[in-house]
Structure 1
Amino acid sequence: MSTPTLKQNALHEGTRILGVGAYRPSVIVSNDDVCQWIDSSDEWIRKRTGIVTRHRAPHDVSVVDMAVAAGSEAIEKAGIAPGQLGAVIVSTVTHPYATPSAAALIAERIGASPAPAYDVSAACAGYCYGIAQADALVRAGTADYVLVIGAEKLSDVIDNHERTISFLLGDGAGAVVIGPAEEPGIGPSVWGSDGSKWDTIGMTHSQLEIRDFSEQSMKNGTDLDDLDLAALGEAQANLWPTLRQDGQTVFRWAVWEMAKVAKQALEAAGIEAADLGAFVPHQANMRIIDELAKQLKLPESVIVARDIADAGNTSAASIPLATHRLLAENPELSGKLSLQIGFGAGLVFGAQVVRLP
């Protein structure tokens, strides 16, 4: 008896970004506003980070709301119907539920069901991770079109009095649709992680040093005869995870190690820095952005995204938000090549060269 022959999906030789969408929350927080909570100044924040303002979402606007708005714009600009999406990938670390995913609800709200939908937790590299996966899905023929969204409501996990990271962060969402192309429009992804610095950026608590669900579970598993239920209830009421970082370690790693990754992405794509139209790094810190541009020896013709000045650090949303603004302000970039690189908690990183829509 012969072995049956399996069918395979039809392949797409190339992929590219077809449309970009964005959502920027209505509340704008200035440096002077921030200095009500920390002992700092507008001058110090601008000098150290390049940030002038950041957007924060009102309490009744969720990560899902922002993602739906950005995703809907990307779909419209791509010129496809939501039902044509073969997958929805949402990069976020601020969806408030461990399960179910934000992506499944977003897919339903934009009209993409029953497309497969899932979340990616890769912090500030999450969008580039999503692009790598979308590129592979389309080229393999698993999906014709994939929606990739980076969405964060970082204000939900900020202690405004914390000095290492809180003043940097903003909220927002950015999205792209990836689809087939006659010529390659997404270069090979250079991505990875450095778990030796896993704890450099993470979560903490203002009153309890409970770091994760397993630690809380051990405390909850205490013999009931010895447990002060009233005290535990009060402790849990005060338990709220907030972000913190070792800023100097992150800065050094981002400047020196990510320049190497960016160069690898250029080499993998078979181009040189002078071939670029734009450089869109994760909007972490203006000093990091400027140093990366310097190390890459970018010519003056390359437009460098500096969305951080107005938007702050929006983690997984920062690259698509910055790309959206670049295209709006510089329409001549349409069709040109852009090097994008994300890096953050984990520590994780991802980079690729893409052709702008």
Structure 2
Amino acid sequence: MPLAQIIGTGSYAPAQVITNRDLEKIVNTSDAWITERTGIKERRKAAPGETTSDMAAAAAREALAMAGTRPEELDLIVVGTITADMPMPSCAVLVQAKLGAKRAFAFDVAAACAGSVYALSVADQFIRTGQAKRALVIGADLFTGVLNWKDRNTCVLFGDGAGAMVLAPSEEEGRGILSTHLRTDGTLAEILTIPAGGSREPLTEENLREQRHKVVMNGREVFKCAVRELTSVTREALRVHGFTPAQVDHVIVHQANMRILEAVLQRIEIPIEKCWINLDKYGNTSAASVPIALDEANRAGKLKRGDVVAMMAVGAGMAWGSAMVRW
């Protein structure tokens, strides 16, 4: 049974840049406060009328071009997102139409910031079992549309973007996605949520006024969960393959907060120099975070044949996961 190999990567970030200085004008915060606590200096915001599927399709086209794959050759499209264009249908079907990938079946995976790792794991299974020969995995979120711009604890963190990966059966033994590891703890659901807009709390004039259709986060608890569980799930992946931390060549981690990145890497004993970091430019792009970082590292020529790449992400749910890849 062949491994699934990532044969193309792509990414997209909207043109509009929102700096920390811009946020100082609309919320009680400062560039120094944001930088010290998060490491973020700026983030991107989708243009008026620009949708999640638009961003996803743009990233997908880059990945397909690198992979030398035509849209009509795709068997599967999986999109990790929680900010689809509309409640129904899925973002993935709109991406399929925009790409012209007529043969592909398409669906979304909702795991918030861990969405792209979850989507990668799903596509990996289809490739391994032979049910798909070409799979497109996308992480895309338009988070600026679900933020309360009066809440400095959340509005300074997130930005918009999309990243994509094309998967195919590996032609070289031992090269590709070695394993994925997914975990969830639903008892932590309330620490990061959008309370209103679903069946539990349908939208009303009152909860719209109260901004309950926007992101609400217990930052302290999210931080503790992220550090604890990303450390655990990455150690698990290393243990499964008998790798030592020194054998990991690159780390591609969800870009949520610089303090989280530093704490996790310290605990798993991997130097931060091995981690591709771009959260200063993009902030937390949710499901897009991991594939954007992977694409940037790939296009910068950092990833060499045979390199061991550890990928990891955590998001609302709480949901988290890791992937171990031999490039």
TM over 0.5: yes
User: Could you say which residue in structure 2 is the equivalent of 1:207?
Assistant: none
Q: Deviations over 1:77-126 (max 9, x none)?
A: 11122111110000101113121111011112112113110011000111
What SS does the aligned partner of 2:321 have? Answer: strand
Q: Distance in 1 between matches of 2:58 and 2:98?
A: 10
**How much does 1:166 deviate?**
1.4
Instruction: Note if contact 1:187-1:268 (Cα within 8 Å) is conserved in structure 2.
Output: no
User: Could you say which residue in structure 2 is the equivalent of 1:6?
Assistant: none
Q: Distance in 2 between matches of 1:157 and 1:355?
A: 36
Give me the CA root mean square deviation.
1.8
Q: Distance in 1 between matches of 2:111 and 2:15?
A: 26
**How much does 1:236 deviate?**
7.8
Code of the residue aligned with 2:201 in structure 1: it is E
User: Could you say which residue in structure 1 is the equivalent of 2:83?
Assistant: 94
**How much does 1:293 deviate?**
1.0
Code of the residue aligned with 1:328 in structure 2: it is R
Q: Does 1:305 align with 2:273?
A: no
Consecutive aligned runs of 4 or more in structure 1 exceeding 4 Å deviation: 234-240
User: Could you say which residue in structure 2 is the equivalent of 1:70?
Assistant: 59
User: Could you say which residue in structure 1 is the equivalent of 2:3?
Assistant: 14
Normalising by structure 1, we get a TM-score of 0.86
| Identity level (%) | 34
Q: Distance in 1 between matches of 2:29 and 2:207?
A: 31
Code of the residue aligned with 1:128 in structure 2: it is V
User: Could you say which residue in structure 2 is the equivalent of 1:222?
Assistant: none
Unaligned regions of 5+ residues in structure 2, if any?
none
Query: Where do 1:188-267 residues align within 5 Å?
Result: 188-204=179-195, 210=196, 212-216=198-202, 235=206, 238=209, 241-267=213-239
Instruction: Note if contact 1:123-1:345 (Cα within 8 Å) is conserved in structure 2.
Output: yes
Instruction: Note if contact 1:89-1:148 (Cα within 8 Å) is conserved in structure 2.
Output: yes
Instruction: Note if contact 2:3-2:178 (Cα within 8 Å) is conserved in structure 1.
Output: no
User: Could you say which residue in structure 2 is the equivalent of 1:57?
Assistant: 46
Q: Does 1:30 align with 2:38?
A: no
Q: Distance in 2 between matches of 1:40 and 1:332?
A: 36
Query: Where do 1:121-200 residues align within 5 Å?
Result: 121-181=110-170, 182-184=172-174, 185-200=176-191
User: Could you say which residue in structure 1 is the equivalent of 2:299?
Assistant: 328
Matched positions, count? 323
**How much does 1:288 deviate?**
0.4
Instruction: Note if contact 1:166-1:244 (Cα within 8 Å) is conserved in structure 2.
Output: no
What SS does the aligned partner of 1:118 have? Answer: strand
User: Could you say which residue in structure 2 is the equivalent of 1:345?
Assistant: 316
Q: Deviations over 1:247-289 (max 9, x none)?
A: 0001111112221111111222332221222111111100100
Whose radius of gyration is greater, 1 or 2?
1
**How much does 1:299 deviate?**
4.2
Q: Distance in 1 between matches of 2:208 and 2:152?
A: 23
**How much does 1:238 deviate?**
4.5
Normalising by structure 2, we get a TM-score of 0.94
**How much does 1:239 deviate?**
7.4
